[in-house]
A and B are shown apart, each in its own frame.
Chain A
């Protein structure tokens, strides 16, 4: 297993470098360092001298990939790409271009807010509610409960997340006055702010989640071993919850484990509407303000987390299916 993990980690290196190169190419294809300077310095009194000064102080006065003015290895090291990307390898994200904040510290601070909202959403929503409801529908398959449940799921998944957010804020926050409409706090005080976005986040995911898991369960309950279990005289509940569920875990795990790394990223829309200071908000702000330092860091972090998620998924298969082996 260890050899397998090491091999997968080694495979990840060229992927991460490739992601970095691609990010830099795409970013600088769309934006020149002059564009960044102009955007960041504001609208008033942005002289060419001020732009040049900004570039020098933020290390953007160098060529992007090859510095022909330097000798030897410095042709590569004295470039924007090398200077900005190499420290990422040891997770030194540097300072933001927009306001010089330390990005690593900002990520460490903000990730808790993202986790606070996305963790309950994934645990309570994805795993408990969606799985439970999907099993219920599978249990009552081909009955009016299944049919109407499915219709409701389709309706729920057809509604925009924005509608859930605005509707939830309006009904639960404004009309019924049960929760703060938006906001965030630290520690235990965060509880009252998290209920509404988490409930809305769960409600928004029920439709698609239930449909997906129902399909998985239905596929499973038509297999031979289920028929054998029924023939053995087991109750439908036991067949479904004890036997079929175990075997349906591979697609479920694929779905859940891959989404775990993105817990840190949080939910972009929910965070913005509920004024939750998470990483989703951070990334959106950086894109809007053309802060390459943050965009680069978040893309890099995202690629690492995605690779980690895929490795975790592979490992988790061995836990639920003894037939799966690392080779």
Chain B
């Protein structure tokens, strides 16, 4: 389903990034990095409206030739970025939305783990398996 999933801290450094092993990892790092500018742009452009509606989903950030990049930002300004294969046209907006929600819930659980210090990189088996399941789903 997704080919790369990243969690970015408030200060724009990566907390977690994972991509399908078959592809060039660096390429996705680059894609995610580029998308952060679009995220910032979106937040500042419709920031007020987003806060009012409590809408966290940012929608499609930008499409490239092979991939589509979607974004989601929590109220604490933690960003989730998901890269999806463009050839997968069956993927609806709703599904992307629910995937982000799942990701958000999982992230919340990690934050509640007393052994996790906020701001550290995420090393969690539960999160790994959740992300894996999202990347495997419809491959």
Q: Do A and B bind each other?
A: no
Interface on B for A, CB 8 Å cutoff? none
